[in-house]
Amino acid sequence: MKSAGLAAVLSFFVTGLGQIYNGQIGKGIGFIIVYAISWAMMFILIGFITTPILWIWGMVDAYKVAEKINQKSN
């Protein structure tokens, strides 16, 4: 069983950490890398759009995947 709330909170603090908690190591590392690139792209302004989108997407994805994992366990 995975805590969906914990997965979302972990992704709140570090984008991709919730995915790693859910056992999706590659996806979590991918989120971390893409988020870092997006953060760096703030110098050319596009990062101001992509960074919050990735941050929210990471939290929502971590929550939904944890819920799916819990449904499969039941």
Given a cut of 90, whether residue 73 has pLDDT beyond it is no
Tally of structural domains, the chain = 1
Containing structural domain, residue 17: 4-73
Q: Is 1 helix (H, G, I), strand (E, B) or coil?
A: coil
Given a cut of 80, whether residue 44 has pLDDT beyond it is yes
H or E stretch at 40: helix 25-40
Over residues 43-65, the mean pLDDT reads 94
pLDDT of residue 63: 97
pLDDT of residue 12: 97
